[in-house]
């Protein structure tokens, strides 16, 4: 990842990012919880965009990947601000943007998309997980988090348990999206595996229902899992992005 760059925030945090300039709309990939821009989906999208001559931005949230900071301080609100700062840095304040969000990044793309307003050219959710602080948290764990305790769960993707910190959970509860209309009018594509053991595929249907946009499509992959990183999954992601209205055709 020799083309990684860093942007210093006013609080001293250094955000790692990769950017390739090109035509628009620019693609911005938003990783999942405890994930980063080195993942297979992110790098595939970046390489594909660079080959097409299309602008693309990858990034690591503070406390993740190559960015500085403590993961325990991370919240959706904080990471939303970081994404918007890097979009402004690399793309200015007018260029159209397509957000591609994986898992938690699919929740974050809804929050960032609201802030982009008319610049938002499209959303592509991959196993998108809006509101998982609500539906993905037991009542017992909610009580612990509300009391300021960190909750740890088994991690199927690594040796260390996955923490949920009270600050993240409380912020997430304030930023739930599925109980009211989501004021997004752009084309939206939601890809979800029906063998996803982390995010029920029904969440894609709830998200589609909440979106105000009339141009929403849900694609369910019967044998797809949460990572959605097989060659066939990545091919579907790239074909979905390429087929969005307004995308350039090299």
| Domain-embedded: residue 248 | no
Can you give the pLDDT at residue 159?
Answer: 76
In a domain, 250, yes or no: no
Q: Give this prediction's pTM.
A: 0.97
The span from the CA of 15 to the CA of 61, in Å, is 7
119 occurs within a structural domain: yes
Residue with tokens 């602008």: 55
Per-residue confidence (pLDDT) for residue 1, from 0 to 100: 45
249 domain residue, yes or no:
no
The pair phi, psi for residue 98, each rounded to 5°, is: -110, 125
The tokens for 121 are: 């050219």
232: annotated active-site residue: no
Could you tell me the CATH number of the domain that includes residue 238?
Answer: 3.40.50.1820
Contacts for 76 with CB less than 8 Å, ≥ 6 apart: 104, 107, 108, 111, 168, 171, 172, 175
Please, is 144 exposed, middle or buried when counting C-beta atoms within 10 Å of its C-beta (0-12, 13-18, 19+)? middle
Residues 102, 165, 226, 233: which is the catalytic one? 226
The residue segments making up the domain with residue 16 are 5-187+199-242
Beta-carbon contacts of residue 46 (< 8 Å; ≥ 6 apart): 18, 20, 29, 37, 56, 58
- One digit per residue, the tens of pLDDT, for the chain of length 250 reads 459 999 999 999 999 999 999 998 999 999 999 999 999 999 999 999 999 999 999 999 999 999 999 999 999 999 999 999 999 999 999 999 999 999 999 999 999 999 999 999 999 999 999 999 999 999 999 999 999 999 998 877 777 889 999 999 999 999 999 999 999 999 999 999 999 999 999 999 999 999 999 999 999 999 999 999 999 999 999 999 999 999 987 6
Question: The tokens of 1 are what?
Answer: 């990842």
Three-state SS across 118-153? HHEEEEEEECCCCCHHHHCCCHHHHHHHHCCCCEEE
Listed residue (89, 94, 76) closest to 30, CA to CA: 76
11, part of any domain: yes
Evaluate whether residue 128 is within a structural domain.
yes
Annotated catalytic residue within 103, 131, 192, 233: 103
Q: Do the domain assignments include residue 91?
A: yes
Number of structural domains, the chain? 1
- Tell me whether residue 233 is one of the annotated catalytic residues: no
Catalytic residue among 60, 131, 196, 233: 196
Whether 102 is a known active-site residue: answer no
Q: For residue 192, is it within any domain?
A: no
């Amino acid at each position: 990842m020799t083309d990684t760059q860093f942007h210093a925030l006013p609080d001293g945090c250094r955000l790692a990012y990769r950017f390739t300039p090109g035509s628009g709309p620019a693609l911005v990939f938003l990783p999942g919880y405890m994930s980063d821009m080195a993942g297979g989906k992110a790098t595939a999208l970046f390489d594909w965009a660079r080959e097409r001559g299309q602008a693309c931005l990858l990034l690591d949230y503070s406390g993740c990947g190559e960015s500085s900071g403590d993961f325990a301080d991370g919240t959706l609100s904080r990471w939303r601000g970081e994404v918007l700062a890097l979009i402004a840095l690399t793309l200015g304040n007018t260029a159209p943007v397509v957000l591609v969000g994986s898992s938690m990044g699919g929740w974050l793309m809804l929050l960032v998309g609201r802030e982009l307003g008319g610049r938002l050219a499209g959303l592509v959710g991959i196993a998108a997980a809006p509101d998982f602080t609500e539906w993905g948290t037991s009542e017992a764990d909610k009580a612990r988090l509300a009391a300021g305790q960190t909750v740890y769960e088994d991690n199927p993707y690594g040796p260390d348990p996955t923490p949920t910190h009270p600050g993240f959970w409380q912020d997430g509860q304030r930023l739930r999206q599925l109980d009211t209309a989501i004021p997004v009018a752009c084309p939206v594509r939601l890809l979800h595996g029906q063998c996803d053991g982390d995010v029920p595929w029904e969440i894609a249907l709830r998200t589609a229902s909440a979106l105000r946009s009339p141009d929403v499509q849900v694609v369910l992959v019967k044998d797809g899992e949460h990572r959605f990183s097989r060659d066939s999954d990545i091919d579907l992601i790239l074909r979905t992005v390429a087929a969005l209205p307004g995308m350039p055709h090299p």
